[in-house]
Amino acid sequence: MPCIALRADTLFADEGDDLHTAAIRLDFDYGGRRIRSSDRRFAGRDRAAENAACRVLEGFGAVELASLTDRAATPGSQIDYVIAVDGDVHALCAFSAYVIPQLRALGWCVDIDPAYPWQVVGADVPLYASAERAGGDWFALELGVELDGHRIDLLQTLLDMLDGVGELAALGRPRRCIAVKIDDRHWLPLPPDRLRLVAKVLLELYGERRVPAPRAPLIAQLVAAIHDGARPLRWIGDAKIRDHAFALAMPPRADVALPLSGLRAELRPYQRDGIAWLQHLRANAVGGVLADDMGLGKTLQTIAHILIEKTQGRLDRPALIVAPTSVLGNWKRECAKFAPELRVLAYHGAARHDEDLTAYDIVVTSYSVLVRDRDELEDLPFHLVVLDEAHAIKSHDTQVAEAARALQSRHRLCLSGTPIENHLGELWSLFDFVLPGLLGSKQEFATTFRQPIEERGDAFRLEALRDRVRPYVLRRTKSLVAPELPAKTQLVRAVDLGGAQRELYESIRVAAHADVRRCIAANGLARSTIAILDALLKLRQVCCDPRLVNVDAAKGITSSAKLELLLEMIPQQLADGRRILVFSQFARMLGLISEALLARGIRHVALTGATVDRQRPIDAFQQGRADVFLISLKAGGTGLNLTGADTVIHYDPWWNPAAQAQASDRAHRIGQTRAVFVHDLVVAGSVEERMLSLQRFKRKLADAILEPGKHGLTELDVDDLLAPLE
């Protein structure tokens, strides 16, 4: 029977590079008499079996000392084999964790020196985890093992390992385990893939021993990462913190039976899931962002959520809904339609101060009123604050964002199909409202997420950000949850400029480019924004119609290639029985289009920021008294349900792809029964076409976060935008 004795020893080299490693003496037991493997004096030995045993040992990675010509043992140390001739502690502990049990299973006798420094704890040694409140909204964490009746916290050891270059490099090598030091003689072996999961979570703690309360799911992730089921794990901390962490880390049960008596609507399955998610957030006292695609019923899900709060007796304070002025009436109508038992107040207009807000279940107000009445509203306690079209607070330092953060409420919710329109800072601003602390301070977020993701395309930080916000964002797309919705087809219609319009574009472009370059040289890119935007505005106006440009060279030029194309398209579309929305960001352009349609006897209505009675043109179009609806992007890009249309024409592209998508989704939403065609009219080779490439980057950035930075213009971007017509 083979017998090995395992202890620590030192090997010496001529250069003085001493190596402290594991040493093995190999003996063979013949009827109670042990004979050392290297002793050749005894007869009657089973040489074949001994050689086979040596091959087994060498197969497990042991190296015969005699083969190490550059190493020598201490005289009299009786070493036959050594392990890890490079002194790798992970390999030494892997031998203890995996090889020794196998040798014993083969019938080998294994003796280990009590002082052997690379002993591993067996599966019978339990792990423990703990989290306790450390004052305010912080949790203090512990994670370790219980050895000989003593708890040994390993969290700092793990953090120190991740700070060490060697240990991090070890995670990338093919090895059986990574050894985590417990004390001078004991180690905890962890499989590399499991330690990578632990490392991923620990890196999100930024080396802290405390976790902000909004990041409670990290506790559940850390416990799940280190616990493989083979070793018992005990929770010894605050059970409420544990339950809260695991509840947030896991999605709400899809089969939750929701009390929806009083709701006059037939809910789709994904809407029931959305309401369950809102209830899940409320039950765990956290806020969130409902980021469903436009047209999937965020308003209905919110109303149902509030109705549940009332029927279950929790709505003892009003719910405040803040929305763009243009959709206040829509909120009142939807509440009356779906939940007539809710008492709803539109807090708007000159007489608003006469109302007792506490007498209502829902108070709907506008962002402009929120700013004007900030002092009154921030003194009122609300049960829930909902920000509709929440990208209104995407700029953190604006008055409206500050007023929203000052509101008192038990719960907070953002509704936005476009929580990221231009850069990641907008997402941070939304979460600074719904869950302050989740994404750290503005500077921490910029350093940890924005710069690595936006400037370097760091996939690891992108995944970390996605994981951080995942419990608090619910995003469903039409293609995912409403496959029955008719198709939406995107078409780009290129327009070539010619004649006087082309000459005007080039003359303005040459002069503007020179002015912009001089401004950048004198003031720097950051201080040249006004000059850049002015140049781009003039070029975009020329693309739409020269009559929009307030320069002498444009006077007398009345022809517009794009307007001519539009006036060809509209009669063709109407002849095919289609009904049309035309969007432009220039109200004056809509006026020119309206004049042209009037001259051709085409029935149409218009909605701009100057429209006093918004509902009147909406009703006229929806009821079929008009076939074309001219809408300014800002006045009608949100809050409209225009399923009577099946054709959308974007006369001019906008910087923000999300804003254009929202406008298109006025027609492509639940209730639409016909295929929707979206036409983008773009002047070929112009600033408009170049804007589309910037749009594609911004759309990809938003999708990367929401579905599984500040991206300001560079000088190269400016030169590209102001390049000659192609």
DSSP string, 380-430: SEEEEEEEETGGGG-STTSHHHHHHHT-EEEEEEEE-S-S-SS-HHHHHHH
* Burial category of 550 from C-beta neighbours within 10 Å (exposed 0-12, middle 13-18, buried 19 and up): exposed
Angle, CA of 612, 615 and 618, to the nearest 5°: 120
**For strand 33-36 and strand 19-30, is the pairing parallel, antiparallel, or unpaired?**
antiparallel
Contacts of 211 (CB under 8 A, 6+ apart): 131, 138, 139, 141, 205, 218, 219
pLDDT of amino acid 159: 80
Indicate if the pLDDT at residue 562 is higher than 80: yes
**For strand 488-495 and strand 676-683, is the pairing parallel, antiparallel, or unpaired?**
parallel
Four-residue CA torsion sign, 477, 482, 483, 489 = negative
pLDDT of amino acid 14: 66
Helix ranges restricted to H, 484-528: 499-523
Question: 643, 676 in Cβ contact below 8 A?
Answer: no
Least confident stretch, 327-336, 339-348, 541-550: 327-336
* Burial category of 708 from C-beta neighbours within 10 Å (exposed 0-12, middle 13-18, buried 19 and up): exposed
pLDDT band at residue 126, thresholds of 50, 70 and 90? Answer: confident
pLDDT band at residue 710, thresholds of 50, 70 and 90? Answer: very low
Indicate if the pLDDT at residue 494 is higher than 50: yes
| Residue % of the chain over a pLDDT of 70 | 90
| Residue % of the chain over a pLDDT of 90 | 35
pLDDT of amino acid 711: 40
Q: What are phi and psi of 275, to 5 degrees?
A: -65, -40
Least confident stretch, 86-100, 466-480, 709-723: 709-723
pLDDT of amino acid 701: 58
Q: How many residues does the chain have?
A: 726
Four-residue CA torsion sign, 501, 504, 508, 509 = positive
pLDDT of amino acid 76: 65
Question: 586, 541 in Cβ contact below 8 A?
Answer: yes
Q: Which of 212-221, 348-357, 520-529, 716-725 has the highest mean pLDDT?
A: 348-357
Indicate if the pLDDT at residue 147 is higher than 70: yes
**For strand 580-584 and strand 647-650, is the pairing parallel, antiparallel, or unpaired?**
parallel
Residue, of 708 and 486, whose pLDDT is higher? 486
pLDDT digits (tens, 9 = 90+) for 642-691: 877 888 899 998 877 777 777 787 776 666 667 788 888 988 888 888 87
Question: 579, 648 in Cβ contact below 8 A?
Answer: no
Whole-number Cα distances in Å, 583 to 39, 63, 99, 418, 570 = 94, 77, 72, 19, 13
Q: Which of 160-164, 257-261, 447-451, 637-641 has the highest mean pLDDT?
A: 447-451
* Segment 112-141 mean pLDDT: 85
pLDDT band at residue 634, thresholds of 50, 70 and 90? Answer: confident
Task: Map out the domains of the chain with their CATH numbers.
Answer: 2-120 (no CATH), 127-249 (no CATH), 269-481 (3.40.50.10810), 489-493+559-686 (3.40.50.300)
Indicate if the pLDDT at residue 695 is higher than 90: no
pLDDT digits (tens, 9 = 90+) for 31-80: 888 888 878 777 778 889 989 999 999 999 898 887 876 677 766 678 88
pLDDT digits (tens, 9 = 90+) for 253-278: 655 566 677 898 888 888 999 999 99
Q: Tokens 């985890």 identify what position?
A: 129
pLDDT digits (tens, 9 = 90+) for 73-95: 766 678 888 898 788 888 899 99
Question: 300, 334 in Cβ contact below 8 A?
Answer: yes
* Segment 495-501 mean pLDDT: 88
Indicate if the pLDDT at residue 230 is higher than 50: yes
- The mean pLDDT of the chain is 85
Compute how many other C-beta atoms are within 10 angstroms of the C-beta atom of residue 169.
9
Its pTM stands at: 0.67
pLDDT digits (tens, 9 = 90+) for 305-327: 999 999 999 999 999 999 988 77
Question: 30, 45 in Cβ contact below 8 A?
Answer: yes
